[in-house]
Structure 1
């Protein structure tokens, strides 16, 4: 699975701060904390397979998109 830029969400606790997280690290069990109130998020064990499947499918879609872009940049002449 590829590593992308971190994701930022509005803190559900204080609604003023932000929580910046990386999906791969979240999957690995890392806890991420709000920059304002110190509320934190982590992934429950029950959700790990769902996130892993979603990340795998996202990577597959990105690969397919890359293949389509490559094919589109080299049109076939008949």
Structure 2
């Protein structure tokens, strides 16, 4: 399920595009409901984002 609190502005029309981080890391693209532009994560960015998400989870667990 997509968490509507996680969103990114559409690069074309600035509409909010909701996304799920885990699906984004799996290569899923998300489509703008207003203009149909697609956003996704570049292959070379996946390790960087995955590492950042793991560090965030570690901080949350310490919390």
Normalization by structure 1: what TM-score? Answer: 0.71
In the TM superposition, 1:1-78 aligns within 5 A as: 5-6=3-4, 7-15=6-14, 17-65=15-63
Aligned 8 A contact 1:18 1:36 in 2:
no
Aligned residues: 61
Q: Offset of 1:5 from its aligned partner?
A: 3.3
Q: Offset of 1:37 from its aligned partner?
A: 0.2
Which 4+ runs in 1 deviate beyond 2 A? none
CA-based RMSD of the aligned residues comes to 1.5
SS of residue matched to 1:35: coil
Deviations 1:8-58 (A, max 9, x none): 12211112x221101100000000011100011111110010011011001
| Structure 1 residues without counterparts, runs of 5 or longer | 66-78
| Structure 2 residues without counterparts, runs of 5 or longer | none
Normalization by structure 2: what TM-score? Answer: 0.87
